[in-house]
Amino acid sequence: MKTIKLDITDMHCASCALIIENALEKEDGVKSANVNYATAKAIIELVDPSIQSEYLIKIVEKAGYTAKANMSAKEIESDKEQSYRKVFSRFIIALLLSMPILIISMPQILMLFGINAEMLMDFSGRKLILFLLTTPVQFFAGWQFYKGAYKAVKAKSTNMDTLVVLGTSAAYFYSVLNTFWLAGSVYYETAALLITFILLGKLLEERAKGKTSQAIKKLMGLKAKTARTIVSGKEKNIPIDEVKVGDIILVKPGEKIPIDGVVTKGLTTIDESMISGEPFPVEKRIGSDVVGSTLNKNGSIELKATKVGEGTFLSQIIRLIEEAQGSKAPIQRVADRISSYFVPTIIGISLITFLGWFIIGQDLIFSLMSGISVLVIACPCALGLATPTAIMVGTGKGAGRGILIKSGEALEATGKVNTVVFDKTGTLTKGEPEVTDIIAPDRTTVLLIAASLEKLSEHPLADAIINKSVSEKLELADVGGFESLTGHGVSGNIDGIKYLLGNKKLIRENKISISHFEVEVEKLERDGKTIMILASKSKALGIIAVADQVRSSSLKVVTVLKKLHIEPIMITGDNKVTAEVIASQVGITKVLAGVLPQNKAIEVKRLQKEGQIVAMVGDGINDSIALTQADVGIALGSGTDVAVEAGDIILVKDNLEDVLSAIKLSRFTMAKIKQNLFWAFIYNIIGIPIAVGLLYPIWGIVLKPELAGLAMAFSSVSVVTNSLLLKFKKI
């Protein structure tokens, strides 16, 4: 599947996003299109890899909008600022002209301040002056609405601009008719104030939307702008975009590490708090990996660049957040469905309102103003902004805590989880096992053979045995015919003898007796230690016990999950006795033991068939299949080893407590989305009947079009502001 991202530069409302989506999805080779009004981005999935961004841009342009590919952050920000300034200038013009329009239209306002307005009321050229003042507001300040409405008509659709244009044009052209041909009243102030209020709402909405994406801006601000390269012994400052893999970079004390790399010279400490959350600097020496945008504290070092540009750790984080903020949560489909029918329905209600009042005996002005009020009070934007703004704030807040949520779908699903399956090694435990016991007649020989076999293995327990042999200064033997037996152990030949090293399954399958070690094995397993048995072809030679310390946070996490009515389960390849010892230490009662890596996904699937909504928590590499199978895959990672492809959520700081934070964040965000949708629906459910005039027969209340426009303008702002309140929630 090929994915192309485009930046859309001139959407005015949520309906615009749906128009572009529909245009893109009609094309052959396009699997899906996700256009997000809040982020002004389109993410297009293609089944035809030959399709290029230029082709998709033409489709967007044909729909009446402007799209660009590969825009830099600086270009996007500049484009937004330019668009904001354009709207701001139109608003100022509309405001300056609307003030005299309002005073001339309603001279009674002057009387409130003790000013005699009789002359103004009797002025014969009043209508002509109002026409001259209102026309620039209608067609210059309000030009973007006409342009947007035209695009919608061209795409055989409707949007918010359609409502604004119909409402303001009705008031304006009715007034023009009465200025030059008829002798009726004029309502220029209605058209002018409507456009002014809606432009004000758009300005406030854009500023509020800008605040929802502050997380990305902060991360982008962490990037270094230049790097000091060393070529032929000479230093040279170059832009960060020009650094290539393999370049040697000099970093002095107090400077940012410009790229991901490995130390080739020098010794220093580096502040990696942006990754690990730990406040204490980490020592770095030759061979140590360093991450771009971390801070070099007190020593000069030289680095060899290993990842540059979009490949750096920070760039990957930014990419993940952008994709998450541009994605849609399933709950948004409800709002999208309603938005697609919203504008045509409102136009219908407006027409019925106008004709209804006129038919039952109200005058033309009352009927017309009621119809206009219906057009302008309805706002599909509030519905369109309800979900994406909350997702933007939620994912941004998570990123600030080192919790990278890869999609709106993952964010929504996390809050529904009722079962969390934890991998044992490296998740509930520290993942740094140590050799605790060696039981054998010849202890040194058993350790030497085991370490010689394990030096070719990539299993986490291999490091513990090798480290033990290093501490005892053993010289390891050469191994031939090495074989890794997944889920069982390893085998190999040393000095012509074949050795096996692994768990009890391996030994039993090879029909080797361990009866002479039975008592020791049972005791070690009761203590929660992992047992590895070394055997030759005919007999068991010894036992090596390895223990992995439980994370200090594991018990707290499990305890809180239970309080949240979420069942914690531990899954491991260890035997049942060992697994249950570890589980008891962290408070877990349900254990899935002796599960091979490839079978973890089967166990997750079984839980799902039982009706559980499952989150799988693992290291993101060994558990990748299970992470993918789970409703939500949560991958623990640290530094440059974050397995960004494995899980739906990446816990960058490798902190198990962030599992709780992710669940809380999801629940808070979904609550905020539901609040937003509730208020967006309630606003229209209450506002539209009032605009129709249902209160007029009872209390004589009529909603003026300009007040309806003001209410519509602030409905979107209120939804975005409510989303921003999520920033203050503690997770």
State the catalytic residues. 423
CA distance 494 to 538: 15
What phi, psi does 262 have (nearest 5°)?
-130, 140
Residue 565, helix vs strand vs coil:
coil
Contact by Cβ (8 Å): 490, 453:
yes
Angle at 383 between CA 380 and CA 387, to 5 degrees: 150
**What are the structure tokens assigned to 358, written together?**
């006129």
Nearest alpha carbon to residue 543 among 408, 424, 439:
439
User: What is the Cβ-side half-sphere exposure of residue 162, based on CA atoms within 13 angstroms?
Assistant: 23
Contact by Cβ (8 Å): 261, 304:
yes
User: What is the Cβ-side half-sphere exposure of residue 588, based on CA atoms within 13 angstroms?
Assistant: 29
Cross-strand pairs, 502: 489, 533
CB atoms under 10 Å from CB of 239, counted, come to 10
- Tell me the C-alpha to C-alpha distance, in Å, between residue 198 and each of 81, 90, 603, 720: 19, 11, 55, 16
Residue with tokens 């190999």: 492
CA distance 77 to 95: 26
**What are the structure tokens assigned to 396, written together?**
């941004």
DSSP 279: S
What phi, psi does 360 have (nearest 5°)?
-85, 5
Cα of 406 vs its chain's centroid, Å: 5
What phi, psi does 524 have (nearest 5°)?
-65, -40
Give me the DSSP letters along 99-139. HHHHHHH-THHHHTTT---HHHHT-TTHHHHHHHHHHHIII
Cross-strand pairs, 226: 239
Nearest alpha carbon to residue 392 among 472, 316, 325:
325
Residue with tokens 């790229």: 259
- Tell me the C-alpha to C-alpha distance, in Å, between residue 140 and each of 121, 134, 370, 409: 28, 10, 26, 41
Residue type, 74: K
Q: How far apart are the first and last CA of the chain?
A: 35
CA distance 616 to 634: 6
Residue with tokens 């969390």: 420
**What are the structure tokens assigned to 630, written together?**
């789970």
DSSP 393: H
CA distance 603 to 615: 12
Cross-strand pairs, 530: 546
The β-bridge relationship of strands 530-535 and 497-502 is antiparallel
The residues near 694 (Cβ < 8 Å, ≥ 6 apart) are none
